[in-house]
Chain A
């Protein structure tokens, strides 16, 4: 199944980069996606918790890792939000709102990835 089947849902993952990286090998793609399904959602949960606790060191660390993770699996629409968090979480007055958006997009992407497996 291709991400292009989901046109009209701009927040869904774009797997172009990953496919290119893996030489269009669908098996390899699934291997990578399964690792994301295992590690990605708990990482987002951890970020949510850090936002709730206003643990800015942890926000910085987790957002840093998530930027790479989400960029790799093509969930790019929330990467600018994560970069903002990484840079200046303390000054963000809309941090809860932004966190909610990240959670929604990742949740939707997880469903999409599960449909691929």
Chain B
């Protein structure tokens, strides 16, 4: 059962979230302030944290900062009240997965929670950067494609051709058809196999964060950018960058992406 921690100093809010999410089959833990929340994060290892913004003592931003500092891969949804707009922006910059204004509509709450949990699961399952030859062989063994139909043979041929060239590849297909497997095969089969493969789940990040992830930033370029950060493009170097769920990115980011690819 997936575990969700709700941190809020308002008992009524905690109760409503707990009852609503429990009915969806989640195991819901409660904390009445940031300090208690951080303790539960360490002892209970929740899959998702919903935290209020304004709390006495440790606030929501500090909760996110601590989760980041401990390198815990736990998505955080920030709960905001009336008039918290500027703080909301700050929370996204700090790494919150999403923010929800209280009171939250049930369907919005449920879908946001699901999306956050799925995104975290996806990123946990995918190694971000793979470089060595040995790892490449292992990946090829693990990511085999089966199929003897003429259409599958056509796909194998295409992979063979593409993987020997430096080209941009758009992989289309419905959910579950194996787009990611194809991407990995393209990378590990050809000229990029001993170079890094960098995976970015575009739907798991907000617009600002995605841009920062892709292109990096230098220290001081925005509030809280305390050190230089290499972008995924730079990390990929001569290898491959796989932009998962690319259809989810904003028009604004698409324009910037076009200048690179």
Chain A residues with a Cβ under 8 A of chain B? 17-18, 20-23, 25, 28, 31-32, 35-36, 39-40, 64-65, 67-69, 71-73, 83, 86-87
Contact = CB atoms under 8 A, between A and B. Distances in A.
B154 interface: no
Main secondary structure of the interface of B (DSSP, over half): helix
Contact of A68 (B20, B102, B106): B102
B15 A64 contact: no
B82 A18 contact: no
A83 B12 contact: no
Contacts of B11: 35, 39
Nearest to A60: B83
Contacts of B16: 18, 21-22, 32, 72
Contact residues of A: prevailing secondary structure: helix
Interface of B: 10-13, 15-16, 19-20, 23, 54, 81-83, 102-103, 106
B3 to A, nearest CB: 20
Given A65-B10, A87-B83, A31 B15 contact: yes
Q: Which 4 A-B pairs have the closest CB atoms?
A: A67-B82, A28-B19, A68-B102, A72-B103
Given A31-B15, A40-B12, A73-B12, 12 more contacts: A17-B103, A18-B16, A21-B19, A22-B23, A32-B16, A35-B11, A35-B12, A64-B83, A65-B10, A68-B81, A68-B102, A86-B82
A103 to B, nearest CB: 19
A97 to B, nearest CB: 21
A67 B83 CA distance: 10
Contact of A25 (B13, B23, B106): B23
Nearest to B11: A35
B12 to A, nearest CB: 5
Contacts of B82: 64, 67-68, 83, 86
A100 B107 CA distance: 35
B137 to A, nearest CB: 51
A42 to B, nearest CB: 12
Contacts of A71: 102-103
A31 B10 CA distance: 14
Given A17-B103, A23-B23, A71-B103, A86 B15 contact: no
B103 A22 contact: no
Contacts of B23: 22-23, 25
| Most chain B beta-carbon neighbours within 10 Å: one of A25, A36, A68, A71 | A68
